[in-house]
Structure 1
């Protein structure tokens, strides 16, 4: 199995971050959006998709990575609509699953997400987030990992790499400029972190995008 120390297997994933009200409360309250709201409720138990729809959604997610602006919003809505309409899924947890994210928990995590999105270009101290949630740094670190299934440092890195991908495809900035613009301290560290998330160097990512 891939989790064994001697294994050479690897897994890849695409993570799309968005708030469930990313279109605004007025839009999400419209009748046409009811199917998406139901999808978000179902997703609280965890959903695994399979079959042809799974293949279709994977392709849509890969396409989304190459899109920008309004085109990316439209693609995200199309992706969510596809997920909401299919019956090719099953729940990961049972009906007795106790969701840890009540409204107060959601609000707390949104505070963290918003802080990171505003501050990722700078050095982010764990104690600053801990103070935001009135916790000790150790407690916050444990809390974030439990709620997101990943360490806080990995979350910040993913946000920075996502922004780097945007700059690599939309600007003429050098690798070094993009490195510091995204909050990394050294180019070597940026290259290593980028390769760990995207499975290729920044220069290779830019070259492949430009050849499309």
Structure 2
């Protein structure tokens, strides 16, 4: 993003945090987890495939970020959502 707006990453990060109150990385992680939630609720794709599709390079990091944001694991999220559908 910094390249896109012709600035250095540190300046962009300060600007983004000043404008939104959160870091750019946390914003991107929230978007990725939001997309993962949609996929968990609407597909039967493997969790690892969803993690990769949402931009996570490994399952461990995906699970950690997912739990941090959603307060449950991806499989718990899917199970809860599927119970609501039934």
In the aligned structure 1, how far is the partner of 2:7 from the partner of 2:44?
A: 41
The structure that has the greater radius of gyration is 1
Query: Which of the residues 198, 202, 205 maps onto 2:74?
Result: 202
Q: Distance in 2 between matches of 1:180 and 1:137?
A: 25
> What corresponds to 1:154 in structure 2?
26
Structure ranking higher in helix proportion: 2
**TM-score where L is the length of structure 2:** 0.95
Counting matched residue pairs gives: 84
Residue 191 in structure 1 maps to residue 79 in structure 2: no
Q: C-alpha separation between the residues in 2 aligned to 1:173 and 1:139?
A: 39
Pick one of 120, 129, 133 that aligns with 2:5.
Answer: 133
Aligned partner of residue 131 in structure 1, secondary structure: coil
| Structure 2: segments with no counterpart, 5+ residues | none
The TM-score, its normalising length taken from structure 1, stands at 0.39
Following TM superposition, where does structure 1 have runs of at least 4 consecutive aligned residues deviating by more than 6 angstroms?
none
